[in-house]
Structure 1
Amino acid sequence: MKDKVKVAVNGYGVIGKRVADAVQLQDDMELAGVCDVVSDWRIKVAVQREYPVYAFDGSTQEKMEQAGIEVRGTLAELLKRCDVVVDCTPKKIAAQNIEKYKEAGLKFIVQGGEKHETTGHSFSAENNYDTALGRESTRVVSCNTTSIIRTLTALKKAGLLQKARGTLLRRATDPWESHLNGIMNTLVPEPEIPSHQGPDAQSVDPELDVITAAVKVPETLSHLHYWNVQLTKDASKEEVLQAFGNSSRIAMINYGDGLSANNTIKELMLGLNRPYGDMYEVALWQDMLKVVGNELFYAYLVDNQAIVIPETIDAIRALTRLEENAQASIQITNAALGVRQGAFI
């Protein structure tokens, strides 16, 4: 059996804490430690979980220690104790950190807030796992882009996809900071069409003919997507559902089951005892899906805090060559996280 890969998580925020928890669930990975700049309740949760805590630098370490936090050292020291770094720091910060990772000779993963050019490779497990094998670095694309790649790849693999046009209703901010910023009593359309998610999906798969438009809405629980897809042929609803059903990270929901809004689906995740009420899958309404000749219409929800977590775990395996086969890695990750395929209930 291969040695466990030692994983460092730099940035213990919305994504970082979830990545750390997910790493702990993998039999082939070990959490080397988590690093941050804060000394409040957020990093104290890591202490409660008995994760090795590191400070970004000396001054940060001093503040943490003054707050009663046991600190193992600084980021520089953490980098000596790991094989790969998952950078979950805020947008544009990761780009400033990568020289440290390169100097330490480490593989690294950044999140979708960074530009594709930061690593030269953008990752989605079901689409391009093989191209990430052994690479120095990759970028796990954003929550919305991840959902786009998953659903369109499922149609593409079934030979059904010609072109796709989507409208995204985007949550205004993450739930934990909704008291600090966000919008109320208004809708804010992104000023350009396509919105950035379409071109971002093409950074993973340049063959996709996809255009997106996006609107920021005054809620924080999840994103809602509406898609109109031109198929390669006239198809039945059953054919399309079979294509989506072949994806390992798309799960079906039904409006008729009372799952008629994002808050009810969040409640379902809590009822299923998901950590933080997280949903790793794309939740696609199968009873709303409609096919008219060669046109397909469907809608789904995206958990902005959770959907990229399984992708990040698979990216670790690909970079470090823990697992050469994409489907094998996906199955291991899905089993560890309890990801459902086909239907939630």
Structure 2
Amino acid sequence: MDRTSADITAPLQPVHQNLIGWGLSGLVLVFLGMLISIGLGAIWIPPSVVLDSIISFQAGQMEHELIMEVRFPRAFSAALVGAALAVAGTIMQGITRNPLADPSIIGITHGAGLAIAIALAFLSSGSYWILLIWSFAGSALGAVLVLSFSLFSKERISPVTLTLAGAALSTLFSALSTGIALYFQVAQDLSFWFAGGLSGTKWQHVFLLIPVVLVGLVLSLWISRSLTILSLGEEVAAGLGQSHQKVRWIGLIAVILLSGAAVSIAGAIGFIGLVVPHMVRLLVGSDYRRLIPLSAIAGALLLIIADIGARMINPPFETPVSAVTALIGVPFFLYLSRRKRGYM
């Protein structure tokens, strides 16, 4: 495809336009969403009490203890997991140039599920740290297999072909996970993971998520300008001195870190990485220097809202968060697969 000089120089323009305004607005919404999320539960806690417990925590007061030990870690984890999944999906779409790419669709999430099933079955200690390491390994397996199919093929792989390959891998990983879980009688433990959810998250999960997500975000922002240039085509990127293989491998590392950490804590939550980047593109365009940070904010907000919805659908019981995100993601996926026909 021919590119005009305006197309080629567009990724090199200043990035601050719209970024600060949308970013601040998104952060305000995330903050308000967290206040609502912390207040919701069997006992409604007003936002004023939530803020008071954060500013001047009083040990021994029931509401303050409930907020700081149970609800605040959950809301914080939802924001971090949503941001991680959204950025992972954004990077996947960028390095594969596939608008349908998402960790839950192309095998990465279910690769982590297979690794966790193996860990539950064969390791005597099922501590969170061990499950996290195995989750990273499974995410890496799924990512390498799917991206190798895309990056090392002699012919251009269409989005539908790559998505079908990922779906086939997801099915294989899921079947193996189920077989291992049933044979070794760990099906109940694994079922909680596959359902997806944030109940039971604690501060140790938050403290582990923060550095991993930050490293993943830094790597993503590091290659954001290169991803924008790569979106113009490999020939144009090579002409501008970009090493597309280097960008893709750094992106792969970022995806493994972000998706591995997210799924080890929240389980198989899908479609965040598919829906969010396209929603943000409608607001700020396809410059990844804007797209990545704003996708992180939008992903955090979307998962906070989904977690609130999961608690409100059938109180006092919780609906799996993955079911709520699927209600949003599946129609969007079907719409997008038809709309992107021109890419296939």
Considering fraction of residues, name the structure with more helix.
2
More strand per residue: 1
Given the two structures, how large is their TM-score scaled by the length of structure 1?
0.28
Q: TM-score, normalised by structure 2?
A: 0.28
